[in-house]
Structure 1
């Protein structure tokens, strides 16, 4: 078979289970997608999909063929990527979105060094907590926390992060050490204030393997995690912060972790990007930087 584009169309339909959705991902009409799959079936001499008015599913032959197609296309994509990287250096504008604390603490120091190596590369970094739409916002990639739903985006797991309750020794000497999460109701808590609303981010814990959350806020609530860290170090109260934010302060003794027996399960961190976008040298560079920068088990979780 000479036309590998038919394979790409078939794989997208098999993944989406819908001609219209596959067409949206490929930039084709549903009719064009259906005709491409029919041409492939005719060429292969086998029915690959079962079609109804509401559902598209793989036949037994189609399921086996799909697995082989995924591997074939992955090999082709890897070969294309390698070729592109060998003939083209990263250039143009790289646009990424990163949560504020993770960006400033972990990623930005590495990105700042790329300018000297790649003078034709421009990097736009948006630091924020909003849930961006990569295609609508014109972004190449974004870093997101938590398990990622099926959305048509490609996702690569970077690491895990723990969120811990911590306070300055001066505060704990003055107000005492909480022994249970419920004790936080009697403490000055530094909450994360959700922008433009009266809501505060929940504090997540685990007791005997069972996760649970508490709605906590105090007299001081901030919508910036770095400012929350500064306030906690200054003795203003107890804050729930990511391990990468507090690891240095804990090792230096300016913060102490409390309620260690109730720390919630780790939160996964992903980088997400649009299908096909990773073939652009600037995007592949960003993915490579993250891979080299962030180990699967980072030291910030060992505090």
Structure 2
């Protein structure tokens, strides 16, 4: 083939599984993309894609060709980045997916700062409590809480959450303050409903090096963290929420931390992306902004001990993002 354009078009179609979606990413018409794939198949003498009215899938020959083509494009991109890294600044489009709660409180402020700092960078953000397929959906990066979904993803730890039991001063004045997790049986608890499983998230506790969990639910259980905080502020019961979500309510005295002697280590938060030998300027700039956003929350939550509030691990001097 004469140039890399045909390979680029094929890889984008295979990733998006759609001629239309690939055309949007490439700035071409669907007709032009379809013709480019047809010419490529004719030149190679094999069928690379199965077409249907709703979806495009790789043939057996297409799967192998796709992997080789993606490696070729990655090598070309790495070479370009290596040449321009020292003098370039972040530009182009950055697509990122993130969970709603952590995204609203931490990532969105970081993205606003990122956009102001780098005006040539355009950011597309999706807030949803799902695990995105970066390769097929075209995301540059995603925020994942807990276990990283995807064996091929590169994960960089941002921080570690800390979940705290909280209640309003009015609720505690009326019902008393529980001293141990066993006392929760006598209280109204507000549980988080997982949108992925439909089950209630267990409350994790720790004491004397032993970690244990309790399944709780009450008269009101919601799959939205902010709504749970609002219900707790209204005096409807006790809630177990991430420190980032509850930071403002704690600072304003609307919610009081309880069972502080039983706080367990929370899940880690990672920025994940597809592997590349040279990390893009966009991802480097994103990581810098996320670091600043987490540090700002640390100061709000615990000014005298910044890393304790989020459980953030010390960063290596040259993090491999």
TM-score range relative to shorter protein: 0.5 to 0.7
Rounded Cα–Cα distance in structure 1 between residues aligned with 2:256 and 2:152: 41
Q: Deviations over 1:109-159 (max 9, x none)?
A: 231233344444221111122122221222111112225477121111112
In structure 1, C-alpha distance between the alignment counterparts of 2:195 and 2:251, rounded to whole Å: 31
**Paired residues of 1:244 and 1:300 also in contact (CA < 8 A):** no
Q: Which residue of 2 aligns with 1:274?
A: 274
Q: Secondary structure at the match of 2:89?
A: coil
Gaps of 5+ in 1: 1-22, 33-76
> CA–CA distance in 2 between the matches of 1:237 and 1:84?
55
Equivalent residue for 1:27?
Answer: 67
Q: How many angstroms does 1:83 deviate by?
A: 4.1
Q: Displacement of 1:198 after TM fit?
A: 4.0
| Structural mapping, 1:100-249, within 5 Å | 100-148=100-148, 151-195=151-195, 198-249=198-249
Unaligned runs of 5+ in 2: 1-62, 72-77, 303-308, 310-321
Distance 1:232 1:150 in 2: 35
Structure 1 247/129 Cα, relative in aligned 2: closer, same or farther at 3 Å?
Answer: same
Distance in 2 between the 1:105 and 1:278 partners? 30
- Tell me, yes or no, if the aligned pair for 2:82 and 2:278 is still in contact at 8 Å: no
Distance 1:107 1:297, change over 3 A: closer
From the superposition, tell whether residues 209 and 144 of structure 1 become closer, same or farther in structure 2 (CA, over 3 Å): same
2:130–2:196 CA contact under 8 A, matched in 1: no
Aligned length: 234
Matches within 5 A, 1:260-299: 260-276=260-276, 279-295=279-295, 298-299=298-299
TM-score (norm 2): 0.64
TM-score (norm 1): 0.67
Going from structure 1 to structure 2, the CA distance change for 1:160 and 1:299 (only over 3 Å counts) comes to farther
Aligned-partner Cα distance in 1 for 2:82–2:243: 36
Alpha-carbon distance in 2 for matches of 1:201, 1:283: 31
- Equivalent residues of 2:192, 2:225 under 8 A apart: yes
Q: How far apart in 2 are the matches of 1:124 and 1:90?
A: 14
Q: Deviation per CA, 1:72-120: give whole Å up to 9, x if none.
A: xxxxx7x975643344332332111122121111121231233344444
Q: By how many angstroms is 1:175 displaced?
A: 1.2
